[in-house]
Structure formats: structure tokens, C-alpha cells
């Protein structure tokens, strides 16, 4: 999830106890839903990869590709 995409994860009720990041205006919602919000360009925690904003897309893509290649076999 990138930017405001974390709102979908909040609505799906899957963020409690997870370390995540998102756009700053969504951070309070993420915290209130039980997530551990951190201000980093990309956070990979369990099955979730999250980023703060479109400027972080390169870091998000690197982490996504790394994860896909790691679990390819």
C-alpha cells in the first residue's frame, strides 16, 4: 500500500499490531486502528509492504521486487 492505500487496510481491519507507514494525514487513522506507524520511505512487515508517498515509489518497488524474487521458489 502506498500513500492513502493504508486506508483500505484499515477498513479491512488487518493493521492491528503491524508496523506500517503511510501518508502523514492518514497516520492518526492507522495508529487508532492499532498499527505501529513509523515515518520511513518503505516498511516491510510480514505480508505488508507500505510506503508514505509517491516520492517513495522507487524504494517501494525495490522492496516489492526483492520480496517477489525471494519467494519465487
22 an active-site residue? no
pTM tops 0.85: yes
27-49 pLDDT, tens per residue?
Answer: 999 999 999 999 999 999 999 99
Query: Which of the following is catalytic: 2, 3, 15, 35?
Result: 3
Confidence of residue 71 (pLDDT cuts 50, 70, 90): confident
Long-range contact pairs involving 27-31 (C-beta distance under 8 Å, separation at least 24): 30/6
- Report the distance separating Cα 16 and Cα 47, nearest Å: 13
Amino acid at each position: 500500500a502506498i500513500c492513502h492505500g493504508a486506508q483500505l487496510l484499515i477498513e479491512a481491519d488487518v493493521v492491528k499490531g503491524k508496523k506500517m507507514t503511510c501518508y502523514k494525514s492518514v497516520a492518526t487513522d492507522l495508529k487508532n486502528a492499532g498499527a505501529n506507524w513509523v515515518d520511513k520511505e518503505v516498511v516491510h512487515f510480514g505480508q505488508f509492504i507500505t510506503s508514505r508517498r509517491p516520492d517513495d515509489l522507487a524504494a517501494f518497488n525495490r522492496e516489492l521486487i526483492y520480496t517477489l524474487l525471494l519467494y519465487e521458489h
